[in-house]
Structures are given as structure tokens and as C-alpha cells.
Amino acid sequence: SIYASPAEVPKASELLDPMVLRDSPAEKVLCLTFVRSVSAKQFTDALTESFKNVADIVVVPQEAMQDTAAQLPESIGKGTQVRFSVRPSHGQVGIHVISAPNGSSSSADGGSGGALLHQPELCQGLQEIFLGRAPVVRGLHDSLQQRLIELPACA
């Protein structure tokens, strides 16, 4: 799932181009729900591999990946949700983990006094791999565009 404040997002007609949403300075929340258990290393390795695919646009430093890994539990169970609060105008990323099935959570998003990750390249890299020219979630652009068409009908 992807969430952004409607007040800060460009007009819906502009959003038919996913790059407009990617480039918007609006805060976005990228929610990943795991359909199987993985280790934090598997998850960060997959992110690192995805970032390599966009290295011509942004290079995410290894330090940013180490900072990200430090915020994750050793094991990410099935049903766990990892939320990245991407704040492009500040170059910050907050990480919030909601573990399943007990719903316990931990965060590094500043909401409960935790520190934000001040990693502009990580912020840009996450936007690129989820909202850029070749998102890691297949069909995401089409899904976002369909949802934008439906939104005026919901208002």
C-alpha cells in the first residue's frame, strides 16, 4: 500500500504519470505486508539488490542499509507489516514494524520519540524502487492509476 496526504499531492490528472508522485515532496508511507517469513538479512539483501537496479539514478550507501537493518527484528514473520515513512523534503525515512500475529510494534519514525533515519539517498531510493520507472511491485503503476480514477467517485 502507498499513502500520501491529498493536500500535498499533485492534482490527480498529473498523477497519471507515476513519476509525478515519485518526484512530489509530499510525505509517502510505503506499507509492505509479508506473505511469508524472512530474515532481516534477506529483506535488506533484497532492498540492496533493488537499489542496484536504480544505481544510475541514486546510489544508496551501505551505511543507509546498515541503519535500516538495525531497525528491523532478526526475523520478519508472515503477516508482519514494515512501513517506510518517506519524507523527501527532509531527506528522512521513518521505519515502523508491526509484528504479526500479536501486533507488537517498534518504530524509528519519531512518533514515539525514536530517531528518524536521516538518509536522503535511502529516501530517494525507496521512492525510485516503488514509484519509479520499474517498480519492484508489478502492476503498481496500473493499480495507482485505477485508484486515482476511482477517487473522485468516492468523494
Instruction: Enumerate the β-bridge partners of residue 32.
Output: 82
Per-residue confidence at 41, pLDDT binned at 50, 70, 90?
A: very high
Instruction: Give one DSSP letter per residue of 50-108, joined into a string.
Output: HHHTTTTT----HHHHHHHHHTS-SEE-TT-EEEEEEETTTTEEEEEEE-TTT--EEE-
Q: What pLDDT sits at residue 25?
A: 86
Q: What is the pLDDT of residue 49?
A: 95
Residue 154: pLDDT band with limits 50, 70, 90: very low
Pick from 2-6, 127-131, 148-152 the range whose average pLDDT is largest. 127-131
Is the full-model pTM beyond 0.75? yes
The mean pLDDT of 25-48, rounded to a whole number, is 92
With 80 as the cut, is the pLDDT of residue 114 above it?
no
C-alpha distances out from residue 137 to 32, 50, 133, Å: 10, 11, 11
Does the pLDDT at position 22 exceed 90? no
